[in-house]
């Protein structure tokens, strides 16, 4: 395990330490035959180059970082698995960082990553972050791919889903089911992602001659209990017959609030939420979801990052848009 | 942002690069006054030491690694959040690695971590891993804390929950509800954790004069669909009136299998599962769970790791056992 260094390898191989070192670096000065001998012995003895020293030489960490708000959010855990599937084929390690939606933590992480610790970054920005200035600097130093939660005005690769179309279609579904007072639970309001989602809702109302009402829009809070209280208040004062939740975190508080108020889902109020919850089909009632292709998104993001690392041509400010799926279930059943 | 190195700092401060370097290292050769000037300027200019070079000198990465099977498992995502809460107070970064229950990936990760990349490791071993030989070597080189999934015979700090008592009490609860044919869905059978869980079940049967039957024990598979098929087969051939699922992953397949077979939960079959699912109270019916104190476990594990890093006295082979909670819900309702 431990204690195998270049000197010991050299001793085993009856070669000089300098030759072994050069062979390990795949230097042109060393014959293929010798290199293969060295590599075979290094493998046999489980030789691990000191990563710090080796980083300084090769400038390659063989590591990428994924920076996300929360691993407990199903969208992100699935996206990470997509990223890892690609990284594994390239023999790269994936470091996962959580920002917990905190902009300062996010910045502190990234500043530490800048000096060669990783070869590239895949990031979904925290909902607090509204300033892209730092990111404009960072993308000059290291390849960064933005996914799901992206900035509008930044010259980098961005991968999103069809946020506008998703809420447009979800709102249409509620209208088709007879809803006339559709509440909208707003998340990610600082971000392009959140703005597109509410735009889709507004457009669908407009196209169906339903007036947009400020009272039916609720912005999310950071505190779970406060979200629950706000939703309860909205249900009591505005009596919506439909709800669109633009983030997964607000779906369950809706269920709890309806339970407490003795409101029947879907008879009294129909609910749709952005969500990658595995239990959505088993809830009481099963939840109609806008499900993002999280795993595929992770795969796409990692694939593009490796193209950039391989210095293959890639349009640096390309935006990829993947399609989400509206899965109709019990919570929007038309009676 | 970028490009601030020791030379530029020295220029700004009108000091030699050697002095700046020593000041940054907090060397006794430099006066407190000079050090404070250097630190202030380093902060002002956002100077970030090259982590590779700095690791080689100080042997401190200010980073800990958490190695777990899956972030998508709620127990682990909650444990990570507990670990991060402690790490944050110490200004440490937390790297998260997923093994996906693969022993080889686990070993590859750890071997890379060994050479100074992190200061300590918190690990919950993959269910494939049945050989502790490698770990016996590793713990000589770096502080390692095992949590939840631990080895029996290893001279390291271990944090578990009361696995034996948990399944004993869960089995008792089913017996109290009138169950006479209690199936057991076995996970983690290679590990001490899994062994204790089934021992608790067996003892509760024994203490209540119910015969243990091999046909009622089902071992989990790696494939989700296969698990579902196996559970369905068990329900058809053995007709159990109660099920204890020893891992969260098997709870939802039970629900799907009962749905498909038109079995009513809890009237036809009562279900209890180890689980930290947030949606457990909202399932149809709500799920009775053995809920582990995941967040607290993460906090405890991290707290002990920092005690070891601080070289405070700590019994190196101590085992901490936290208590899980049996939360009775709809899936075991006695009619």
Structure confidence by residue, pLDDT tens digits, A124-142: 999 888 778 888 888 888 8
Instruction: State the pairing for strand pair B93-98/B120-123.
Output: unpaired
Is A302:A120 a contact under the CB 8 Å cutoff?
no
- The confidence score (pLDDT) of residue A68 equals 96
More confident residue, B131 or B288: B288
Q: Collect all residues with Cβ–Cβ distance below 8 Å to B93 and sequence separation of at least 6.
A: A97, A109, A112, B62, B63, B64, B87
User: Measuring CA to CA, how many Å separate A16 from each of A6, A13, A25, A51?
Assistant: 9, 9, 14, 22
Helix (H, G, I), strand (E, B) or coil at A68: strand
The residues facing B217 across adjacent strands are B184
Which pairs count as long-range contacts for B247-250, CB under 8 Å and 24+ apart, including other chains? B247/B185, B247/B187, B247/B188, B247/B220, B247/B273, B247/B274, B248/B73, B248/B74, B248/B75, B248/B273, B248/B274, B248/B275, B248/B276, B248/B277, B249/B73, B249/B187, B249/B220, B249/B224, B250/B185, B250/B187, B250/B220
- The confidence score (pLDDT) of residue B32 equals 80
More confident residue, B267 or B134: B267
- The confidence score (pLDDT) of residue B1 equals 38
The structure's pTM equals 0.80
Query: What is the residue whose two structure tokens read 């085992």?
Result: B319
Please check whether residue A98 touches B, CB under 8 A.
yes
Looking at the predicted structure, is the pLDDT value of residue B222 above 90? no
Is A149:A125 a contact under the CB 8 Å cutoff?
yes
Q: How far apart are CA A168 and CA A164, in angstroms?
A: 6
Domains detected in chain A: 6-49 (no CATH), 63-161+294-324 (3.40.50.2300), 163-291+326-332 (3.40.50.2300)
Cα distance from B174 to chain A (closest Cα, Å)?
A: 23
Portion of chain B with pLDDT greater than 70, in percent: 92
Q: How far apart are CA A92 and CA A79, in angstroms?
A: 16
Query: By C-alpha distance, which of A96, A177, A201, A12 is closest to B99?
Result: A96
- The confidence score (pLDDT) of residue A116 equals 64
Looking at the predicted structure, is the pLDDT value of residue B52 above 70? no
- The confidence score (pLDDT) of residue B208 equals 98
For A:74-93, CB contacts with B below 8 A are 74, 77-78, 80-81, 84, 93
Looking at the predicted structure, is the pLDDT value of residue B250 above 50? yes
User: What are the residue ranges of helices labelled H in chain B?
Assistant: 6-13, 17-24, 32-44, 51-58, 74-89, 103-113, 133-141, 163-176, 192-207, 224-238, 251-260, 294-309
Instruction: Give B-chain residues touching A49 at CB under 8 angstroms.
Output: 115
Is A215:A221 a contact under the CB 8 Å cutoff?
no
- The confidence score (pLDDT) of residue B28 equals 66
- The confidence score (pLDDT) of residue B313 equals 59
Calculate mean pLDDT across residues B149-153: 86
For B:172-211, CB contacts with A below 8 A are none
Instruction: Give A-chain residues touching B111 at CB under 8 angstroms.
Output: 1, 46, 48
ipTM of the complex model: 0.78
User: Measuring CA to CA, how many Å separate B265 from each of A6, B168, B262?
Assistant: 63, 21, 9
- The confidence score (pLDDT) of residue B57 equals 41
- DSSP output for B35-91: HHHHHHHHHHTT----HHHHHHHH----EEEEEES-TTSHHHHHHHHHHHHHHHHTT
pLDDT tens-place values along chain A, 335 residues long: 346 778 888 888 988 887 887 787 666 677 888 888 888 888 888 776 654 444 444 557 788 999 999 999 999 999 999 999 999 999 898 989 999 998 888 888 888 777 667 899 999 999 888 778 888 888 888 899 999 998 888 888 999 999 999 999 999 999 999 999 999 999 998 888 999 999 999 999 999 999 999 999 999 988 889 999 999 999 999 999 999 999 999 999 999 999 999 999 999 999 999 999 999 999 999 999 999 999 999 999 999 999 889 876 566 678 899 999 999 999 999 86
For A:141-160, CB contacts with B below 8 A are 141
- pLDDT tens-digit series, residues B54-74: 444 455 778 899 999 999 999
Range with top average pLDDT, A251-260, B22-31, B122-131: A251-260
Q: How far apart are CA B231 and CA B260, in angstroms?
A: 11
Q: How far apart are CA B265 and CA B330, in angstroms?
A: 8
What integer best gives the mean pLDDT of chain B?
89
- The confidence score (pLDDT) of residue A314 equals 61
* Chain B, nearest residue to A140 by Cα: B2
Q: How far apart are CA A92 and CA A94, in angstroms?
A: 7
- The confidence score (pLDDT) of residue B45 equals 83
The H or E element that residue A255 is part of is helix A251-260
- The confidence score (pLDDT) of residue A2 equals 46
Calculate mean pLDDT across residues B103-118: 80
């Amino acid at each position: 395990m431990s204690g195998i260094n270049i000197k010991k390898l050299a001793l085993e191989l009856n070669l000089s330490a300098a030759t072994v070192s050069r062979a390990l670096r795949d230097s042109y000065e060393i014959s293929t035959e010798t290199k293969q001998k060295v590599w075979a012995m290094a493998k046999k003895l489980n030789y691990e180059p000191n990563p710090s020293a080796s980083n300084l030489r090769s400038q390659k960490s063989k590591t990428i970082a994924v920076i996300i708000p929360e691993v407990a959010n199903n969208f992100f855990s699935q996206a990470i698995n997509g990223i890892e599937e690609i990284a594994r084929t390239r023999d790269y390690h994936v470091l996962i960082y959580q920002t917990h939606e905190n902009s300062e933590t996010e910045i502190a992480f990234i500043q530490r990553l800048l000096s060669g610790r990783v070869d590239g970054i895949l990031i979904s920005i925290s909902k607090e972050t509204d300033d892209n200035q730092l990111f404009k600097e960072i993308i000059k130093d290291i390849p960064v791919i933005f996914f799901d939660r992206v900035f509008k005005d930044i010259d980098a690769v961005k991968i999103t889903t069809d946020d506008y179309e998703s809420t447009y279609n979800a709102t249409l579904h509620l209208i088709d089911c007879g809803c006339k007072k559709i509440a909208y639970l707003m998340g990610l309001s600082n971000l392009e992602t959140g703005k597109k989602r509410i735009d889709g809702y507004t457009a669908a109302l407009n196209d169906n001659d339903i007036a947009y009402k400020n009272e039916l829009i609720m912005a999310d809070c950071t505190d779970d209990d406060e979200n629950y209280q706000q939703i309860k208040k909205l249900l009591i004062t505005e009596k919506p017959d439909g709800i669109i939740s633009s983030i997964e975190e607000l779906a369950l508080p809706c269920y709890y609030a309806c339970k407490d108020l003795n409101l029947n889902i879907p008879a009294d109020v129909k609910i749709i939420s952005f969500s990658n919850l595995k239990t959505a089909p088993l809830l009481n009632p099963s939840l109609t979801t806008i499900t993002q292709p999280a795993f595929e998104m992770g795969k796409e993001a990692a694939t593009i990052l490796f193209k950039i690392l391989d210095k293959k041509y890639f349009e640096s400010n390309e935006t990829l848009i993947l399609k989400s799926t509206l899965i109709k279930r019990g919570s929007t059943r038309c009676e």
